[in-house]
Amino acid sequence: MYTEFLPISAADMRARGWDDVDFVVVTGDAYVDHPSFGTAIISRLLEREGYRVGVLSQPDFTTPDSFKEYGKPKYGFMIGGGNVDSMVAHYSVAKIRRTKDEYTPGGVMGKRPDRSATVYTQLAKQAYPDVPVILGGLEASLRRFAHYDYWLDKVLPSIMEKSGADLVSFGMSEHQTVEIARRLANGETCDTMTDIAGTCYMTSFENLPKTYIECGSFAKTASDKIAYAKACRMQMDNQDVVTAKPLVQKQTEKYLVQNIPATPLTRRELDEVYAMPFTRRYHPSYDAVGGVPAIAEVEFSIIQNRGCYGGCNFCAITMHQGRRVTSRSENSIVDEAKLITEAPNFKGYIHDIGGPTANFRLPSCKKQMTEGMCGGGKHCLAPTACRHLLISHKEYLSILRKVRELPKVKKVFIRSGIRYDYLILDKDEEFFKELIKYHVSGQLKVAPEHCAPQTLKYMGKPPIELYNRFQKRFYELTKQAGKKQYLVPYLMSSHPGSTLKDAVILAEWLYTNKIRPEQVQDFYPTPGTVSTCMFYTGLDPYTLQPVYVAKTAEEKSMQRALLQYYMPQNSQRVREALKKAHREDLIPNLLGQSVHEKKTDDVLAKSVNGRIVAAPRTKASKGAGKWRGQDAKNTNTKATQKSKPTHKKR
Q: What is the pLDDT of residues 189-228, one digit of tens each?
A: 999 999 999 999 999 999 999 999 999 999 999 999 999 9
Q: Tell me 98's DSSP state.
A: P
List pLDDT tens digits, range 44-102.
999 999 999 999 999 999 999 999 999 999 999 999 999 999 999 999 999 999 999 99
Helices (H) and strands (E) in the chain, counts: 26, 24
* Element of type H or E holding 257: strand 255-258
19: left (phi over 0), alpha (psi -120 to 50) or beta: alpha
Tens of pLDDT, residue by residue over 256-311, are 999 999 999 999 999 999 999 999 999 999 999 999 999 998 999 999 999 999 98
Exposure string of 376-385, with b = 16+ CB inside 10 Å and e = fewer, is: ebebbbbbeb
Class of the domain covering 10-258:
alpha beta
Cα 298-42-330 angle, rounded to 5 deg: 55
158 pLDDT higher than 50: yes
pLDDT at 416: 86
> Reduced to 3 states, what is the DSSP secondary structure of residue 187?
coil
Determine the Cα–Cα distance for residues 426 and 211; give it in Å rounded to an integer.
43
* Most confident segment among 10-14, 322-326, 617-621, 639-643: 10-14
- Taking only Cα atoms into account, the Rg of the chain, rounded to an integer number of angstroms, comes to 25
Share of the chain above pLDDT 90, in %: 86
pLDDT tens, position by position, 346-390: 999 999 999 999 999 999 999 888 899 898 889 999 999 999 999
Give every strand in the sheet of 199-203, ordered side by side.
53-57, 23-27, 76-80, 133-136, 167-169, 199-203, 255-258, 247-250, 213-214
Q: What is the mean pLDDT of residues 111-116?
A: 97
Whose CA is closest to 137, among 159, 157, 156? 159
For 532, list phi and psi in degrees, rounded to 5.
-65, -40
Tell me how far apart the alpha carbons of residues 95 and 196 are, in angstroms, rounded to a whole number: 37
Check residue 376 and give its pLDDT: 86
Cα distance between residue 338 and residue 329, in whole Å: 14
Asked if residue 650 has pLDDT above 50, the reply is: no
pLDDT, tens digit (0-9, with 9 covering 90-100), for 414-424: 998 899 999 99
Q: Output phi, psi for 520, to 5 deg.
A: -125, 135
Question: Across the chain, what does the average pLDDT equal?
Answer: 90
pTM of the model: 0.89
Which band of pLDDT confidence, cut at 50, 70 and 90, is reported for residue 627? very low
DSSP-assigned letters across all residues of 419-451 = -HHHHTT-S-THHHHHHHHHS-SSEEEEEEE--
Band (pLDDT 50/70/90 cuts) for residue 638 is very low
**Which amino acid is located at 398 in the chain?**
S
> Is the separation of the CB atoms in 89 and 139 below 8 Å?
no
The Cβ of residue 610 has, within 10 Å, a number of other Cβ atoms equal to: 6
Question: Is 300-648 CATH 3.40.50.300?
Answer: no
* Averaged pLDDT for residues 140-165: 97
Bridge partners of residue 444, in order along the sequence: 487
Average pLDDT (504-533) is: 94
pLDDT top residue among 645 and 432? 432
- The angle, 0 to 180 degrees and rounded to 10, between the axes of the packed helices 174-185 and 38-48 is 40
Alpha helices, DSSP H only, in 22-113? 38-48, 86-90
Query: Are the C-beta atoms of 439 and 400 separated by less than 8 Å?
Result: yes
Residue 640's pLDDT is 29
Helix (H, G, I), strand (E, B) or coil at 40: helix
Question: Is pLDDT of 626 > 80?
Answer: no
pLDDT value at 622 more than 60: no
Beta partners for 645? Answer: 649
Which residues make up the CATH 3.40.50.280 domain(s) of the chain? 10-258
Helix H or strand E encompassing 555: helix 553-563
Question: At 600, is the pLDDT very low, low, confident or very high (cuts 50, 70, 90)?
Answer: very low
Specify whether the CB–CB gap between 23 and 181 falls below 8 A.
yes
Which segments of the chain belong to CATH 3.80.30.20?
300-648
The mean per-residue pLDDT over the stretch 98-108 comes to: 97
